[in-house]
Chain A
């Protein structure tokens, strides 16, 4: 048993090293001089750490602007998703209304629908509304339940709350809105946090949406900005890696803040975030 444990530890250590090495290569390259990147054989670690590369990224392209744009999308999306997914999760878990299960089943099945099917009409609709190249197409859909995954997740949490809680509140004459705000929401705070974290990651990572809907660089998000950097400085890998690191670090920071909730969320639902 002891030997087996040690052997598993060794195997995991190797796997962990494989998982970590690309990160180290990212940091290493982001701190090198341009000529140092192309020395043969490649150097493992930079001679001196060139933090200037990070500042340069902000000088070359309006990265601060892109960050601001990303936040302009992120914040209203997070509010919309958390608010509406918890409302719908509450309805599907605890209120009895006609065709409830049928609606829920149809909504759940949209998880399997490839987004390419709805993409073109949605794009045409936004362009008819003259809203292409604005943030509306990226924000507004989040206010409609926040997607099947989040509704499902919220519903799972609401189902675990004991039934007599709302029943006794109803007998006391509370309205369903009061029950939702005063009794239910405080009890599902962990779920709200999980949803908020997943939403942060989705918006932060989103590439396809901004690529389709934003076409002026004053409107770009960080993801598009990074792509633009690649277009302009295709071989300056130190700058490209610094730019990538700038995008990765907030996501990692967010992960460490919400680690507990992330792990809870993925093992609860069995779905990748």
Chain B
């Protein structure tokens, strides 16, 4: 073998080793913090395990109980999806509106960006605290405003009928980060496409419907998926603001898991619940991805 060739092979080997060494934290992390615990959790979900006693193998009993006997499970699933879908849809609509108006090139764009982004960096415990106070039926800001314009006041988070819409309203306060992402997408819409619509005699609506919307669907799609996955795992708002109430009206799914595991010490049962959540999210994500072929437009770009 010639000298340069063997040197090349040695170098390739060196790169291989270096690659694994540099990626080692992530690979080990994947095994230790994700794959290992996933396998363990699946195993634990097949046992009756209350942390002080030994684990007892029960097969699929936990899953059977979840689906046939656990009334909290059904309620929790219902309120979790109600909140997740509501907050994702309304937050997305609000961020699209904000982004569209900002894209008109209004003055003070930097200031607007900052103001809309600020609510998203408020720590969740602090924003939960703040919103409990805003929702206060007697002395809170929201009812004060409603009363001052002559509208009937609401019980907000203290009534099962309005608690989820209230939390959706609160999550809309954080629409700024999605708005900025969509704005970045809007600014990438090629000018020549918009001009082409004009040349063909199209108006503003045509430009919006046939150029702008298709061009930003990938951004919307991505945020929809991540937003849905995130809000299906909502916990802190309910824990801090409502304690899961009223009448379990905000017993979000992760709250249910938390309660079973860390308040009742039902580790096996809680693990079964967590695998059901995992399966649901996986199914849902797959469904959204499948539907995306029909409405998400991937242009010639990257």
Contacts and interface: CB of A to CB of B under 8 A. Distances in A.
Interface of A: 4-5, 8-9, 11-12, 15-16, 19-23, 25-26, 29, 37-38, 40-42, 84, 87-88, 90-92, 95-98, 100, 103, 106-107, 110-125, 127, 141, 143-145, 151, 170, 175-177, 180, 201, 204-205, 207-208, 211-212, 223, 226-227, 230, 237, 240-241, 243-245, 247-248, 251-252, 254-255, 259, 262-263, 266-267, 270-273
Contacts of B267: 120, 124
B181 to A, nearest CB: 5
9 contacts: A22-B141, A97-B17, A116-B254, A117-B278, A144-B25, A176-B22, A205-B123, A244-B129, A270-B223
Contact of B281 (A16, A114, A122, A223): A114
Contact of A272 (B16, B40, B120): B120
Contacts of A121: 36-37, 40-41, 44, 271
Nearest to B105: A5
Given A107-B26, A271-B226, A272-B178, A116 B277 contact: yes
Q: Is the interface of A mostly helix, strand, loop or mixed?
A: helix
A103 B126 CA distance: 38
Given A15-B98, A91-B23, 17 more contacts: A12-B112, A20-B115, A87-B22, A112-B285, A116-B253, A117-B277, A121-B44, A124-B44, A124-B267, A144-B25, A201-B121, A205-B124, A205-B125, A251-B121, A251-B122, A255-B121, A270-B223
B196 interface: no
A95 B180 contact: no
B123 to A, nearest CB: 4
Interface stretch (B56-64, B160-168, B229-237, B292-300): B229-237
B138 A100 contact: no
Contacts of B270: 120
Interface string B30-53: 101110111011001000000100
B158 to A, nearest CB: 14
Interface string B92-128: 0000011001101111100011111111111111100
Contacts of B18: 91, 95, 97, 175-177
Interface in B161-209: 173, 176-178, 180-181, 184-185
B286 to A, nearest CB: 10
Interface in B134-174: 134, 136, 138-139, 141, 144, 147-148, 173
A151 B24 CA distance: 12
Contact of A26 (B25, B130, B176, B181): B130
B104 A272 contact: no
A267 B184 contact: yes
Contact of B119 (A22, A92, A98): A22
A195 to B, nearest CB: 14
Contacts of A271: 181, 222, 226
Contact of A12 (B38, B44, B98): B98
A119 B125 contact: no
Contact of A212 (B102, B229, B262): B262
Contacts of B261: 119-120, 123
Contacts of B82: none
B202 to A, nearest CB: 16
Contacts of B287: none
A87 to B, nearest CB: 5
B236 A207 contact: yes
Top 7 closest pairs, chain A to chain B, by CB: A144-B29, A97-B19, A145-B26, A91-B22, A95-B19, A267-B184, A121-B40
A63 B110 CA distance: 34
A118 B133 contact: no
A48 B262 CA distance: 45
Q: Which of B12, B41, B97, B121 has the most CB of A within 10 A?
A: B121
